[in-house]
Amino acid sequence: MKKTKTYMDKLMENKEFREKFDKEYRNLYIGEKIAEIRRRANLTQDALAKRANTTKSAISRYENSDYKSYSMPLLNRIAKACKADLKIDFVPKRIKKVKV
């Protein structure tokens, strides 16, 4: 059975749209993961800030999907304060094979 394309499927066929979407999704993902790990550790933003030796406003910025200037030292302190490991991964892009 052939899958019916959704509007999003059609948008994602556009390279420029897909690249912008992926960039925004990554920013949203990082902020959401920070908020999720903080909640799992039963910490408020203020409590996490104290444990990570930063400010509540810095934690709030890091949890905001519009933020784009994350630093590895603070991400590591946040992970440690939440008793978690920070994992960064490089995932190869899928390359379309050309039939010869």
Where are the alpha helices (H) located in 6-95, listed in sequence order?
A: 7-12, 15-40, 45-51, 56-63, 72-81
Q: Which CATH architecture has domain 14-81?
A: Orthogonal Bundle (1.10)
Question: Can you give the residue ranges of every domain in the chain?
Answer: 14-81
pLDDT per residue over 74-95, tens digit each? Answer: 999 999 999 999 998 888 887 7
Q: Give the model's pLDDT for residue 52.
A: 98
pLDDT at 100 over 70: no
Residue that the structure tokens 């052939």 belong to: 2
Angle (deg, nearest 10), helices 72-81 and 15-40: 40
Return left, alpha or beta for 81; rule: phi > 0 is left, psi -120 to 50 is alpha, else beta: alpha
Give me the long-range contacts of 59-62 (CB less than 8 A, separation at least 24).
59/34, 62/30, 62/31, 62/34
Q: Give the model's pLDDT for residue 24.
A: 82
pLDDT per residue over 6-62, tens digit each? Answer: 988 888 888 899 888 888 888 788 999 999 999 999 999 999 999 999 999 999 999
pLDDT at 1 over 80: no
pTM over 0.85: no
